[in-house]
Each structure stands twice: as structure tokens, then as C-alpha cells.
Amino acid sequence: MNPVEAAWEALEADLADYLRQKGLAPSCRAGCFACCHGLVTLSRLEGEALLPHLTEAQRARLLEEGPKRLALLGEGKDDPHFPSRFFRERRPCPFLEGGLCGVYPFRPLACRGLLTAGDPALCQPEAQAPRGHFLKAPWGMAHRRMEALWEEEGRRYGFVVIGELAGLLYLLLEGLPRGRAEVERLLEGLGVLGGRWGFQVVSPWRGQGGNPGG
Ligand code: SF4
């Protein structure tokens, strides 16, 4: 099993243990998909693990949606309100199919770690979920698994690329250059490098609980 699939499985086990111990039952259900309109980030390694599982129709939607997401990100990456604006516009994830995740077994850690035991109506963009609506510990568990994958990506490539789901998958599908300088040039040319919400190209992650160092 590759490290990404191992991380997906390990997080599921962590979450199941945590929820059992706390006696929590998430209200997240099949057919409940408000969070699939939000801004989802993933790393290159997760993207590379997801891509081979896409159907032709999903690849076609990605080819259509990826450039649009990159353009939106280019305009909004420095706007502190970009994620909430993006969420309110209700742009569905390109893998959302009839209210269900079309890549469910291969969905990113960020999707797995976003859980609530509260009223699903509060997940809607206009509800502006109150503090504590989304469970903090599951998100922390997902984040620690992300950090471990960033560390692995750093070992493998010498640098780490983190970005918006559809935009990054689109770039991977088109072929991301091998070297860091070329990747940065490409992202800079697209206007999506850096800023508050843009793509991050960072040095090998050391997994020490801080932020990735540039
Ligand atoms: S990958 Fe699946 S779970 Fe994640 S946002 Fe897209 S449709 Fe939703």
C-alpha cells in the first residue's frame, strides 16, 4: 500500500476510535454535501494517489473546472474573505455526483477530517457555522496525517506543493514540471503562487507541528 492510501486508512481508523471513545455520532450522511462546495486543499502526493482512480467523465470535468478554479484563485488568493466568498458561490467539487462523492474511497484527508455532530443545516454557506460546529479533534487528526504526507513528499521530490483540489489535480493531469524553480515559475505565471490562499511551494516538511518553511 502506498503512503497516501495508508494515511487515508489510518485516519479512518483514528476517527472511528475517537468517535467511539467520545460516544459521538457524526451527522454527516450520504446525500449531505454542503461542505463539497468549499475550498479543499491537498498536496501533490495525495493528488497523485487520486488521479489514477478518476473515470473518463471525472477527468473531463476536471479539465473543464481546473482552469476556472485557477483563474478564481488568481483573482482571490490575497482576499481574506476568499474561502467564504468561494463557499457562498456554491461551486460544486467536480467529483460531486448526484449529491455523493464520486471518489469517496480516494477522497483527500481534508474531506475526511471535516465532520460535525451538529445540525447539518448549519453546514450550509449562508448559515456561517458557529464556532465548534465542525469537530476540532478529527480535523487535527487529519492535519497530522497531512503533515506526515508533506514530509514524505519532501523526501521524494525535495519540495512540497500544496494547493486547491481541482486546480492542483488539473495541473498534475497536464504534467507538473519536475524541478522546484519550474513549478514556481508555472504557478507564478498562472498568478496562483503564494498569498493567503494560493498554492504553496515549500521546503521539505519536518513535521514539527509548525508551518511549512519556505
Ligand atoms: S472529493 Fe468528494 S468529499 Fe471531497 S469535496 Fe469533492 S465530492 Fe466532496
Write out the chain's pLDDT in tens, 214 residues.
899 999 999 999 999 999 999 999 999 999 999 999 999 999 999 999 999 999 999 999 999 999 999 999 999 999 999 999 999 999 999 999 999 999 999 999 999 999 999 999 999 988 888 889 999 999 999 999 999 999 999 999 999 999 999 999 999 999 999 899 999 999 999 999 999 999 999 997 665 444 443 3
How many separate domains does the chain show? 1
Give domain status of residue 207, yes or no. Answer: no
Pocket test of ligand 1: the residue of 54, 62, 111 to mutate, having most ligand atoms within 8 Å of its CB, is 111
Give domain status of residue 211, yes or no. Answer: no
Q: What is the identity of the amino acid at 161?
A: V
Strands (E), 73-192: 96-97, 100-101, 160-164
Q: To the nearest 10°, the Cα dihedral for 143, 148, 152, 153?
A: 10
Q: Ligand 1 centroid vs 123 CA: distance in angstroms?
A: 14
Give domain status of residue 167, yes or no. Answer: yes
In the structure, which protein residues have their CB atom closer than 6 angstroms to any atom of ligand 1? 36, 40, 93, 95-96, 101, 103, 107, 111
Give domain status of residue 7, yes or no. Answer: yes
Give domain status of residue 195, yes or no. Answer: yes
Which atom of ligand 1 is least distant from the CA of 111? Answer: 4
The domain in which residue 17 lies consists of 3-202
Beta bridge partners of 116: 134
